[in-house]
Chains A and B, each alone.
Chain A
C-alpha cells in the first residue's frame, strides 16, 4: 500500500511495539505530527528537547525496552545532544528521530539546518540520514535493532522534510540483515571452563558487576553464582540493583565513593570477576594498583572494553546473560561437591570485619537535617519499592550509598556522563512506563534547575513524580572538591540565590513542601509520596556535608578519606 514517509515512520513504530514517544514539534517534522493522531503511538509533549531525550532514556532504563524521541531540525536536534551523549555513555537503547531540511537544501545553510548526523557521530552507536524514501522502513528497523542488540546505545535517524512527504509502497522488513554487524553473543566454551576452574581454585573471589548485567537482564544468573558459591558482590553505580542491596553477599558500591569493605575487597581478592563493567577511572582509581593480587576475569559483550584500561587475564566476550548462564551450568555440578561457605569463610569474615571497622555512615545531629538522613528516610518509607532517579553530584552519591536498591531497572542515574538535569525528566519517562509506581527523583538544588521546565509536562500528563531536593545551597560536589583540594576557595559554587521551590511547584500546578526540621522529614515525605500529584519537596539540609568514603582522583582505592 502506498503511504507517505510520515505514515511509514509511524507504522514502523507501531510494528516495533512503541507505545510512547517524547517529543517537541517544529517546521521540519510538522508532517509527522500531522499524522500522529492516526496511529496508536502516544506522544508526550515536553517543554525542552533535552527533557524528551532524557525521558526516553529513563523510560528505557526502567523498562529494559527502547525509548523513542522525536524532535525538529536545527535547534530541536542540537538540544538533544547532551541527552544522546548521556545515553551513549551508559549504553542505553534509545532511537532519536530528528527532522531535517529538504534534501535539495542540505548543505546550503538553510533555515534551521544543522548537520546532526555529523554532530552526533561520536556519541551515537550509529546514525542515519535517510535520503531515499525506499530506505525508510529498513532504516527504522535497523535503528531499533542496533539500539537494543549487542552493547545497546542510542541511534539517530535524520529525516529530511521532502522524504517525509514523498510516497512509496510500505513494506515491513521482517528480518534485519547487516553483513557488517554481528554482535558476538555466545561465550567461548574453553574460556568458560577456565573461569569455572579459577572460581574453584580461588580463596578470595569477588564479583564486580556493572551496568551490563542490568542491560542484559542477567541479574538472576549473577545472584545464583553469588548465593550458591558464597561469593561477595560489589558493583558500579550503573550496576546497582542487579544484586539486591539487602542481599547477604552485598558489599556496597566500589570506587571513588565506594564502601571501605568493597574497596578493601578489591585490593585483597585473589579472583576478580568483572561482569558487564568497564573499569572506568571512577571505579579503578589508580590503575596500576587496582586489584593487585587478583586474577582478573572480564566478561563483556563489547570487545573494545576488554584490555582498554586494565589488562585482564581471562577475557570472555559474550552477552553477560549467556556467559553467566554457561558459567552457572558449569558450576551447578560443583555446588554440592564443595562446602563453599566453609571455603570462603575466612574471606567473608574478613570482609565483615572491614565493614565493622568502617561502615557506611555519617555524623548525624538532632538540630539540623543531614542529607544522608533524608535518603535513609526515603529508604525507610519506600522499603526499596520505588523507582529512584537521581540528579548529579552529592545527591547522586548519597542516593547510591544509602538506598537499598533490590531490583535492577530501579535506579536511574547518569553514570558515565554525569549529566546534571538528567534525573527529573528520566523519572518522568519512568513514571509514564509505570503509572502506578512511586517514582522519586533524588535531586540537588543546582541540578533540578537544569530541566525544571518539565514540571509542566508532568503536571499536564498526570505523571506524579516526586522530587526530593537535598537543598544545600551549593553545587555541593564541586564545593566538596574545593574544600578538600582547593583550599576552600568556593569560587562560583555557592548557589543560595534560588527560587522558592514550593511556590514554583504550585505555580506549575504541582504540590510543594518545605522541610526545615528533622522531626518533619519522615512525616512530610510520607505525605508527599502519598499524593497523586507531582510534588517538589524542598529539604533544607546542612550546607557543607561531604560524601565519604572518598578516594581522591588518581589515588589507589585503599587511600580512602573516611568520615
Chain B
C-alpha cells in the first residue's frame, strides 16, 4: 500500500541526503518527496510517499526516526488527513479542441496558466484520484509535458470515529 509520511527534520545540511540515502541503502521505494520550511524555526517538513506492505512501512518509519536530525515522523495514512498535490500539464490545444479542454479545466476547477497558438498549460491541484482523472481525460488531446510537486498532507482538525 501507498503511505504518505510527514517527516519533520532539523533544517541542516545533509539531512535530505540522509533520508534519500536511507531509502536507497535499504532498498525502499520513494514515489515522491518534497521539502520546505515550516513555521517552527529551523524545522523543515519532508513529505515522503512510499510504497510497501505493513512491515516495510513500519521499518521505514522506524529507520527514519532513528536518523539523528529527524524530529518527528507521522504516517498520515493512518490518520484522517487532507492530501494534495499540484501538477502543471502542457497539452496540445489546436483551435478545434480548445473549447473542450477549457470545459474540462472548468469542471476540475483548474486554472490555465500559460497559452500559446497550439498549447495550453493547466495548473491542477488535488488528491491523487483527481490528478489521475484529469490526466486521463486530457490524454486524448496529447499531453506534451507534466511537472508534479509530489504530495503534501495535513492532519484533519477533527478525527471522526465511526
Contacts and interface: CB of A to CB of B under 8 A. Distances in A.
Given A179-B71, A180-B10, A180-B71, A122 B21 contact: yes
Contact of A121 (B14, B55, B59, B65): B14
B3 interface: no
Interface string B28-54: 000000000000000000000000000
A82 to B, nearest CB: 17
B132 interface: no
B62 A180 contact: no
B70 to A, nearest CB: 6
Interface string A106-137: 00000000000110011001100100000000
Nearest to B42: A179
Contact of B66 (A118, A129, A302, A307): A302
A304 interface: yes
Contacts of A179: 71
Given A117-B14, A121-B14, A121-B18, A307 B68 contact: no
A303 B55 contact: no
B58 to A, nearest CB: 6
A485 interface: no
B71 A304 contact: no
A179 B21 CA distance: 22
Interface in B10-32: 10, 13-14, 17-18, 21, 25
18 contacts: A117-B14, A118-B17, A121-B14, A121-B17, A121-B21, A122-B21, A122-B25, A180-B10, A180-B69, A302-B66, A303-B62, A303-B66, A304-B59, A304-B62, A304-B63, A307-B55, A308-B59, A311-B55
* Majority-rule SS of B interface residues: helix
Given A180-B69, A307-B59, 16 more contacts: A121-B14, A121-B18, A121-B21, A122-B21, A122-B25, A125-B68, A129-B14, A179-B71, A180-B9, A180-B10, A180-B68, A180-B71, A181-B68, A302-B66, A303-B62, A311-B55
A539 interface: no
A146 B66 contact: no
Question: 8 closest A-B pairs (Cβ-Cβ)?
Answer: A126-B68, A304-B62, A180-B71, A303-B62, A122-B25, A181-B68, A304-B63, A304-B66
A357 interface: no
A179 B17 CA distance: 20
A176 to B, nearest CB: 12
Nearest to B18: A121
Contacts of A122: 21, 25
A12 B41 CA distance: 29
Given A121-B21, A122-B25, A303 B68 contact: no
Contacts of B65: 303
Contacts of B9: 180
A303 to B, nearest CB: 5
Contacts of A178: 68
A178 B55 CA distance: 29
Interface residues of B, number: 19
Contacts of A118: 14, 17
Interface string B65-81: 11011110000000000
Interface of B: 9-10, 13-14, 17-18, 21, 25, 55, 58-59, 62-63, 65-66, 68-71
Q: How large is the interface on A (under 10, 10 to 19, 20 to 34, 35 or more residues)?
A: 10 to 19
User: Which of B9, B66, B71 gathers most chain A CB within 10 Å?
Assistant: B66
Contacts of B17: 118, 121
A129 B68 contact: no
A181 B59 CA distance: 18
B149 to A, nearest CB: 26
Nearest to A123: B25
Contacts of A181: 68
Contacts of A180: 9-10, 68-71
Nearest to A179: B71
A304 B56 CA distance: 11
Contacts of B63: 304
A34 B109 CA distance: 69
Contacts of A303: 62, 65-66
Nearest to A305: B62
Nearest to A304: B62
Contacts of B21: 121-122
A146 B67 CA distance: 11
Interface string A517-545: 00000000000000000000000000000
Nearest to A311: B55
A146 B14 contact: no
Contacts of A304: 59, 62-63, 66
Contacts of B13: 129
B6 to A, nearest CB: 15
Contact of A146 (B25, B62, B68): B68
A150 to B, nearest CB: 9
Contacts of A311: 55
B10 to A, nearest CB: 6
A181 B17 CA distance: 18
A46 B65 CA distance: 37
Contacts of B25: 122
B74 to A, nearest CB: 14
A117 B68 CA distance: 14
Contacts of B70: 180
Contacts of A308: 59
A303 B66 CA distance: 8
Contacts of B59: 304, 307-308
A118 B15 CA distance: 11
